[in-house]
């Protein structure tokens, strides 16, 4: 399991209650969500803005020894699961052309995350753990001058953290022997 599952869990949680959600940073949210050069508003964008070790959740046994967990692979069902504690931060932006729409979506999202303060991660085929979400900040980031030809675009930014996040390593041995990688060639003239 990697960080991608947390990103998908956060996007899926928002998409369960709002139909126009995109995983993108604020600076590319409009470009990524446009269809034929048009952006459908209101829009919610979600983006992982940071991560760090969370030493408050550190457990030496989980890091170095691991635990036997049920995990379905092609030829095995029981492997060693190890984990490292992470604090993940997500930025959720609400974009709307009318303040009343932005205000209404903000209200609903705040109550939604208070009533269901967790994200569900698809860790394995048999297990879907839930991780707590905490709100860190709420800001009005409306920039009236950004789109003068389109009128005002209202933007609210919520920052959430996942304090008990874990990055998992599932192996049939307790040691890292090789790191699997895939190389890509980037064209410098593009």
The distance of Cα 149 from the centroid of its chain, to the nearest Å, equals 32
Q: Which of 37-41, 61-65, 122-126 has the lowest mean pLDDT?
A: 122-126
Phi–psi pair at 116, nearest 5 degrees: -130, 75
> Which stretches of 54-107 are assigned E, i.e. beta strand?
67-70, 78-96
- Give the pTM: 0.78
Task: Kindly state the DSSP code that residue 145 receives in the 8-state scheme.
Answer: T
Amino acid 158: pLDDT: 96
Q: Give the range among 72-76, 138-142, 157-161, 184-188 with minimum mean pLDDT.
A: 72-76
Q: Which residues contact 177 (CB under 8 A, 6 or more apart)?
A: none
Q: What is the pLDDT of residues 133-153, one digit of tens each?
A: 999 999 998 876 555 555 678
Asked whether the predicted pLDDT for residue 174 surpasses 90, the reply is: no
Q: The CATH number of 3-171 is which of 3.30.1490.20, 3.10.580.10, 3.30.70.1700, 3.40.1160.10?
A: 3.30.70.1700
What letter would DSSP give residue 150? Answer: T
Q: What percent of the chain has pLDDT over 70?
A: 76
Residue ranges of the domains in the chain? 3-171
């Amino acid at each position: 399991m990697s960080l991608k599952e947390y990103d998908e869990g956060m996007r899926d949680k928002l998409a369960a209650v709002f139909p126009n959600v995109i995983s993108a940073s604020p600076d590319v949210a409009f470009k990524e969500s446009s269809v034929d050069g048009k952006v459908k508003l209101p829009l919610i964008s979600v983006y992982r803005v940071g991560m760090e070790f969370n030493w408050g959740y550190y457990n030496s046994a989980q890091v170095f020894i691991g635990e036997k967990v049920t995990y379905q692979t092609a030829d095995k069902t029981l492997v060693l699961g190890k984990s490292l504690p992470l604090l993940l931060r997500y930025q959720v932006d609400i974009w709307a052309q009318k303040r009343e729409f932005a205000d209404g979506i903000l209200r609903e999202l705040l109550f939604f995350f208070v009533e269901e303060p967790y994200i569900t991660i698809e860790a394995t085929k048999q297990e879907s753990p839930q991780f707590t979400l905490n709100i860190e900040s709420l800001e009005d980031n409306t920039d009236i001058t950004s789109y003068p030809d389109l009128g005002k675009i209202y933007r609210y930014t919520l920052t959430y953290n996942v304090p008990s996040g874990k990055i998992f390593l599932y192996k049939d041995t307790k040691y890292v022997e090789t790191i699997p990688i895939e190389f890509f060639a980037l064209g410098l003239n593009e």
